[in-house]
Amino acid sequence: VLLDSDHPGLPISSVSMDNRGLAYNAVLQLSSLGEVGHLASRIPTGNFIARGIGYWEAVLAMHLSWEDDLIFHVTPSLTGACEDVLQLLDQGRRVPKAFFADNDVIAIGAMRALMQRGYRIPQDVQIIGVDNTLLSQISTPALSTTQISRVDLGENAIQLLLRQMAAQQRSTMHIRTGTFLILRDSTLQSPA
């Protein structure tokens, strides 16, 4: 049983977070602002790709603006995201009212860049990340983010493994564990 990732083309069962759902819910939370950008990782991991799909599903379902310039492709590190966003801003890139970021590190790097260029978080731009890292809790402003229960993830993996061992067969299953939003200072609104 593969944990925290899945490979649907391979005969391997998996338990992972619902990446599409968490992105969808984050965009839903921000949708009242009219346009939501995506701080997307330049490195296309399976989790990031699924989050991108969830972002697009939400944008289309909620009839939000979907121009390509709302997608900021950035390096998935604090320094890299900050430098990439600074470069995009200096090139005159339009800044949406809100961003969904592929993870907390990207979100915090982008917040740093935006604030260096005079944007106020959350008054001018609101941001939601993914992972509920310690950095999200101590950043200024504190980052709104999504969290998965690692206990639920582990319990689902153990239950699936035990079920497969008891059945003595190689049927594959893909379980996606839900996430929930933690709203902090990088967003102004209450839960949708």
Instruction: For residue range 4-17, list pLDDT tens digits in order.
Output: 677 767 777 777 78
C-alpha to C-alpha distance for 166 and 7, rounded to whole angstroms: 23
In the prediction, which pLDDT does 111 show? 98
The amino acid that residue 69 corresponds to is D
In the prediction, which pLDDT does 78 show? 97
CB of 140 closer than 8 Å to CB of 168: no
- Mean pLDDT of the chain, nearest integer: 89
Say yes or no to pLDDT of 3 above 90.
no
Average pLDDT value for residue range 21-33: 95
Average pLDDT value for residue range 116-136: 97
User: Other C-beta atoms within 10 Å of 6: how many?
Assistant: 22
Say what percent of the chain tops pLDDT 90.
Answer: 65
SS3 148: strand
In the prediction, which pLDDT does 192 show? 46
Which residues fall within 8 angstroms of residue 118, CB to CB, at 6 or more apart? none
The amino acid that residue 192 corresponds to is A
- Measured in whole angstroms, the distance separating CA 43 from the mean position of its chain's CA atoms is 14
C-alpha to C-alpha distance for 77 and 162, rounded to whole angstroms: 37
Say yes or no to pLDDT of 29 above 90.
yes
If one compares 68 and 91, the residue with the highest pLDDT of the two is 91
Say yes or no to pLDDT of 190 above 60.
no
- Annotate 93-127 with three-state secondary structure: CCCCCEEEECCHHHHHHHHHHHHHCCCCCCCCCEE
**CA–CA–CA angle 104, 109, 114 (5° rounding):** 120
Say yes or no to pLDDT of 168 above 70.
no
In the prediction, which pLDDT does 54 show? 96
Average pLDDT value for residue range 115-137: 96
In the prediction, which pLDDT does 189 show? 63
CB of 66 closer than 8 Å to CB of 96: no
Q: Is the peptide bond before 44 cis (omega within 30 degrees of 0)?
A: no
Residue 71 dihedral angles phi and psi, to the nearest 5°: -100, 120
pTM higher than 0.95: no
Q: Residue 38 is inside which H or E element, if any?
A: strand 36-41
Instruction: For residue range 38-53, list pLDDT tens digits in order.
Output: 999 999 988 999 999 9
